[in-house]
């Protein structure tokens, strides 16, 4: 063959190659034409349209809802020191299981300890000052009271002596002036107590005690905040703390993950949110683990997220499944009843054109009638018929574009359903 091609002219060689290509194209056309014919359903038989049909019967209308989401932990808490300070001890490693109240990190509290001792001393000094002030007041009060009584009695005696002419007016006036001064001094001390019966000078010293005590409490609280504790049970999922380093206030040094309960947060449409109710049991598939886990729907958001225009549904998984990790993707599906014992048809049966909604009814004599209908609830596969179709009637599913009122059809048994 190679020798014969070598002896041919260029034109003859081109003709042979062209013929081979043409033959190959014909064979491919025949092959693919046969294959295509195998998968094509005839639209008519003897000129009469073949129509797949559906018998309308009253039943529960179900909505098939697919839920996709991501595993979230019961809590994922970032832990950060409240104050800046040197780290003196780190008691937790990455992956450690900790209990509520466990000490995770300790900062340097030396300066605070000194300040607390100073404040304790100030509090004691204030208490001593209060005792001294109360004793001084009581002594001054008794002295002023005695002086006032002495001067009052003296003034009253001298009033009598003046009335009989034994002393002059000037002498009486001088005695009265001394009496009034002692009275004023006594009233000043007496009025210090006010309504509380505690003198102002003593009350001031007692408030100084409270002020110093509050200062000590504040320092102790600050010292306690320099010790970072686990707020709840969980696992350390992040650690960025070393002894000797400076921990900055508000900067995360640990994260605590609580997986005692795990959830799947799913984004759903308004149609799904309208029919999903908490309490529905589900089987959740986590592809990364290759397993299914039991759970239930516990929450459907009561309002739409304005930014995403969606709703959120939360599934709670069995808390015994400890191998589930936050961040894994999961999915499930639930069938929810939309309406009990109602009439509905597959979506492909419904014709919507020029603002009208209709179906083709297939009669017993295999003729069709186009009938307007009123649609109620919808889902992904079916539409509820509120008016226009009776229980037990048959509707056309295919070839509606070829149908007209009164036209005879043949039922396509391969597409028939009920």
Query: Which residue is listed with tokens 């009122």?
Result: 405
Helix (H), strand (E), coil (C) string for the chain = CHHHHHHCCHHHHHHHHHHHHHHHHHHHHHHHHHHHHHCCCCCEECCEEEECEEECCCEEEEEEEEEEEEEEEEEEEEECCCCCEEEEEECCCCCCEECCCCEEEEECCHHHHHHHHHHHHHHHHHHHHHHHHHHHHHHHHHHHHHHHHHHHHHHHHHHHHHHCCCCCHHHHHHHHHHHHHHHHHHHHHHHCCHHHCCCHHHHHHHHHHHHHHHHHHHHHHHHHHCEEECCCCEEEEEECCCCCCEECCCCCCEEEEEEEEEEEEEEECHHHHHHCCCCCEEEEEECCCCEEEEEEEEEECCCCECCCCEEEEEEEECCCCCCCCCCCEEEEEEEEEEEEEECEEEHHHCEEECCEEEEEEECCCCEEEEEECEEEEECCCEEEEEECCCCCCEEECCCHHHCCCCCECEECHHHCEC
CATH code for the domain of 373: 2.40.420.20
CA nearest 297: which of 270, 322, 268, 321? 268
Q: Looking at per-residue confidence, does 210 or 2 come out higher?
A: 210
In this prediction, residue 180 carries a pLDDT of 94
233/214 same-domain check:
no
Does the pLDDT of residue 3 top 50, yes or no? no
Residue 245's pLDDT band (boundaries 50, 70, 90)?
Answer: very high
Positive or negative, the CA dihedral 175, 178, 180, 186 is: negative
Averaged pLDDT for residues 33-58: 69
270/327 same-domain check:
yes
**Of 14-23, 176-185, 369-378, where does mean pLDDT reach its minimum?**
14-23
Examine the fold and report which residue of 182, 204, 224 is the final residue of a domain before the chain moves on. Answer: 224
Q: Are 395 and 345 in contact (CB under 8 A)?
A: yes
| Residue 181 CB contacts under 8 Å (≥ 6 apart), including other chains | 151
Q: Which residues pair with 305 in a beta bridge?
A: 310
CATH code for the domain of 123: 1.10.287.470
146/204 same-domain check:
yes
Strand order in the sheet with 85-90: 227-229, 103-107, 85-90, 246-247
Q: Tell me the pTM.
A: 0.61
* pLDDT tens figures, 299-353: 999 999 988 899 999 999 987 666 788 899 999 999 999 899 999 999 999 999 9
Residue 199's pLDDT band (boundaries 50, 70, 90)?
Answer: confident
Residue 188's pLDDT band (boundaries 50, 70, 90)?
Answer: confident
Averaged pLDDT for residues 105-127: 95
Kindly state whether residue 352 falls inside one of the protein's structural domains: yes
Q: Are 391 and 55 in contact (CB under 8 A)?
A: no
Residue 39's pLDDT band (boundaries 50, 70, 90)?
Answer: very low
In Å, the largest CA–CA distance within the chain is 178
CA nearest 283: which of 337, 339, 335? 335
Alpha carbon distance 40, 299 (integer Å): 47
353/318 same-domain check:
no
Number of domains in the chain: 4
Examine the fold and report which residue of 224, 256, 281 is the final residue of a domain before the chain moves on. Answer: 224
188/152 same-domain check:
yes
**Which residue range(s) make up the domain with 162?**
111-224
CATH code for the domain of 285: 2.40.30.170
115/198 same-domain check:
yes
Query: Which residue is listed with tokens 């091609």?
Result: 5
- Phi, psi for 26 (deg, rounded to 5): -65, -45
263/347 same-domain check:
no
Q: Angle of helix 169-191 relative to helix 110-163, nearest 10 degrees? A: 150
Q: Looking at per-residue confidence, does 11 or 297 come out higher?
A: 297
198/254 same-domain check:
no
115/211 same-domain check:
yes
Other Cβ atoms closer than 10 A to 368: 25
Q: Are 243 and 87 in contact (CB under 8 A)?
A: yes
* pLDDT tens figures, 85-105: 999 999 999 999 999 999 999
Other Cβ atoms closer than 10 A to 155: 18
Averaged pLDDT for residues 290-304: 93
Examine the fold and report which residue of 224, 240, 264 is the final residue of a domain before the chain moves on. Answer: 224
Does the pLDDT of residue 151 top 60, yes or no? yes
Kindly state whether residue 252 falls inside one of the protein's structural domains: yes
Kindly state whether residue 43 falls inside one of the protein's structural domains: no
Q: Looking at per-residue confidence, does 48 or 82 come out higher?
A: 82
């Amino acid at each position: 063959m190679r020798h014969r091609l070598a002896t041919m002219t260029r034109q003859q060689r081109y003709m042979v190659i062209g013929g081979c290509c043409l033959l190959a194209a014909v064979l491919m056309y025949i092959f693919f034409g046969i294959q295509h014919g195998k998968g094509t359903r005839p639209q008519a038989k003897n000129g009469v349209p073949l129509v797949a049909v559906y018998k309308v019967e009253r039943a529960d209308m179900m909505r098939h809802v697919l839920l996709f989401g991501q595993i979230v932990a019961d809590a994922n808490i970032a832990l950060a020191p409240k104050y800046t300070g040197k780290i003196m001890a780190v008691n937790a490693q990455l992956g450690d299981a900790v209990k509520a109240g466990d000490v995770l990190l300790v900062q340097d509290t030396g300066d605070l300890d000194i300040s607390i001792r100073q404040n304790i001393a100030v509090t004691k000094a204030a208490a001593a000052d209060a005792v001294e002030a109360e004793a001084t007041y009581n002594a001054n009060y008794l002295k002023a009271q005695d002086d006032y009584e002495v001067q009052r009695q003296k003034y009253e005696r001298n009033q009598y002596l003046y009335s009989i002419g034994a002393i002059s007016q000037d002498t009486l006036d001088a005695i009265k002036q001394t009496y009034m001064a002692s009275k004023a001094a006594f009233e000043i001390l007496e009025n210090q107590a006010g309504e509380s019966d505690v003198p102002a000078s003593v009350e001031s010293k007692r408030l100084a005690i409270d002020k110093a005590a509050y200062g000590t409490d504040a320092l102790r609280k600050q010292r306690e905040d320099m010790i970072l504790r686990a707020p709840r049970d969980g696992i350390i999922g992040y650690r960025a703390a070393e002894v000797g380093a400076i921990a900055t206030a508000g900067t995360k040094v640990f994260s605590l993950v609580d997986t005692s309960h795990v959830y799947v947060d799913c984004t759903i449409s308004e149609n799904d949110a309208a029919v999903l109710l908490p309490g529905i049991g589900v089987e959740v598939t986590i592809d990364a683990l290759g397993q299914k886990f039991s759970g239930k729907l516990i929450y459907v958001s009561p309002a739409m997220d304005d930014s995403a225009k969606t709703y959120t549904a939360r599934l709670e998984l069995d808390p015994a499944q400890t191998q589930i990790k936050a961040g894994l993707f999961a999915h499930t599906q639930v069938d929810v009843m939309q309406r009990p014992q109602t009439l509905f048809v597959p979506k492909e049966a419904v014709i919507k054109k020029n603002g009208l909604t209709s179906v083709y009814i297939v009669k017993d004599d295999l003729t069709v009638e186009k009938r307007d209908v009123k649609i109620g609830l919808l889902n992904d596969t079916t539409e509820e018929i509120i008016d226009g179709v009776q229980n037990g009637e048959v509707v056309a599913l295919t070839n509606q574009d070829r149908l007209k009122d009164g036209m005879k059809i043949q039922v396509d048994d391969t597409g028939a359903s009920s």
